[in-house]
Amino acid sequence: MSKLGFRRFAVRTLAAVAVLAIACHARPASAGYSSIVIDADTGRVLAQHEPDAQNYPASLTKMMTLYLTFKGLESGTLSLQQRFTVSAHAAEQAPSKLDLKPGETVPLHDLIFAVITHSANDAAVVIGENIAGSEPAFAQRMTAEAHALGMSHTNFANASGLPNPDNVTTARDLATLALSLYRDFPKEYPWFATEEFSFNGVSYSNHNHLMHSFPGMDGIKTGYIRASGFNLAASAVRDGHRLFAVVMGGESAHSRDLQMAALLNSSFARTGNETEVADDAAPEDAPASLAKRAIAAMSPVGKAHAATRTVAQPAPHARNAKAIDGWSIQVGAYMQRDMAEHAGELALQRIPAMKGRVVEVLAPSHTDKEQVYRARIVHFNHHEAELACRELHKKRKSCAVIAPGAAQQVAAN
């Protein structure tokens, strides 16, 4: 063989080896369905299907971006008011994004809530670059932190979850991360329940639509790229019992949500006994087979986290109860008081008919099994309340009209 022929052979061989290496590395990640449900108190697995199959996390990657951010806040190396500079690399990220401009500076507080609600890729990269100096350096920190948490089948290649063959994880690892966020950052974790975020005059709604309909859900993150399918990491609490669940590889956002609702409902039913772990089948016909079960489980009582039933009479045993004068509308119920206040203020801003109204946050009484803070806009007549609630519904915001005389414990200012 001539020297020229040998060189061509060597080039072709090296190219083939490189292609094979890339294929072998990327092969474990696929859009196959996987899921897991774990008990937050015991760590016990209540349901699973292929929980250790590798796939692309998509925007669930941002949970680790936020984990490292919260770690910096808790250690004092970061502050919510700290302004982070936007690089050209961050600004050029694909949507979803805030359309940040190179050279612009943004408070960390805004970047965090942009990641939580809008899943903004440019905001995630800005965070990573400003913490570690570059996105690749931040990705190395992400992977090291993942392995320290026990996420042994995870590798992070960027801060956002945009397509990258080296960005891989499993349902079990993501459940570990979600649980770690809850356990390690009790002050910051409630931010995942934020329904809406406003930036530069634009409002962005949380992508996790189950928070509006599933009883007890309060986070945490959705994700999608074409290669991964539709992913969701979620947490819900009922009667003081919290579960974390991950669904990966959903065929659509709707079918993924239905599967998540069915998994959580069946798993909550298991928490009262020591039954064996359920190995759930992949949802071959999720919309058809799960819709009835999921919708039936979302009773009007359960929907109280988005809209509470009209209460005609005062609660007889509510401590420090205060009757609400006139009609009011409830715009949400939350595990934290500050979240309820935020929801009320957003409602006031959205509807002109709300101008001049007052937000009242009602704290749970000792007889309230749900133990949630209810955000209400008060001092309407019946007609005004109906009109205001109708306007909120047009903007796809849940609300309920509350009759006069409803009494609840009022949270202290």
pLDDT digits (tens, 9 = 90+) for 22-79: 333 333 445 689 999 999 988 899 999 999 999 999 999 999 999 999 999 999 999 9
pLDDT at 315: 31
Domains of the chain plus CATH, in order, are 28-297 (3.40.710.10), 303-410 (3.30.70.1070)
Residue 79's CB is within 10 A of a number of other CB atoms, namely 12
CA distance 215 to 264: 10
**Closest CA relative to residue 155, chosen from 55, 250, 48, 20:** 55
Q: Please, how many CA atoms are within 13 Å of residue 275, restricted to the half-sphere of its CB? A: 13
Please tell me the predicted confidence (pLDDT) of residue 394: 67
Token representation of residue 347 = 């409602």
pLDDT for position 8: 46
Considering only the C-alpha atoms of the chain, give the largest distance between any 2 of them, rounded to a whole number of Å: 97
Per residue of the chain (413 residues), what is the pLDDT tens digit?
A: 454 444 444 434 443 433 333 333 333 445 689 999 999 988 899 999 999 999 999 999 999 999 999 999 999 999 999 999 999 999 999 999 999 999 999 999 999 999 999 999 999 999 999 999 999 999 999 999 999 999 999 999 999 999 999 999 999 999 999 999 999 999 999 899 888 888 888 888 888 878 777 888 888 899 999 999 999 999 999 888 899 999 999 988 888 989 999 999 999 988 764 444 566 666 554 433 333 333 333 222 222 222 222 232 333 232 233 334 578 888 777 666 777 787 788 777 777 767 778 888 888 765 554 566 788 888 888 788 878 877 776 665 667 777 775 443 333 22
Contacts of 110 (CB under 8 A, 6+ apart): 123, 197, 199
- Show Cβ contacts of residue 126 under 8 Å, excluding neighbours closer than 6 positions: 84, 85, 86, 87, 90, 100, 106, 111
Q: What span, in angstroms and rounded, lies between the C-alpha atoms of 263 and 247? A: 9
Predicted pLDDT at 140: 98
C-alpha dist (Å) from residue 304 to 241, 286, 309, 372: 17, 26, 7, 10
pLDDT tens, position by position, 197-238: 888 888 888 888 787 778 888 888 999 999 999 999 999 998
Cα separation, 34 vs 224, in Å, equals: 14
What pLDDT shows up at residue 141?
98
Q: How far apart are CA 109 and CA 111, in angstroms?
A: 6
61: DSSP letter: G
**Known catalytic residues?**
59, 62, 119
Burial class from Cβ neighbours inside 10 Å (0-12, 13-18, 19+) for residue 55 reads buried
- Residue 349 has which token pair? 């801003």
Please give the model's pTM, rounded to 2 decimal places: 0.65
Supply 277's token pair.
């772990």
The upper half-sphere exposure of residue 141, i.e. CA atoms within 13 Å in the direction of its Cβ, equals: 21
Encoding tokens for residue 401?
A: 């009209």
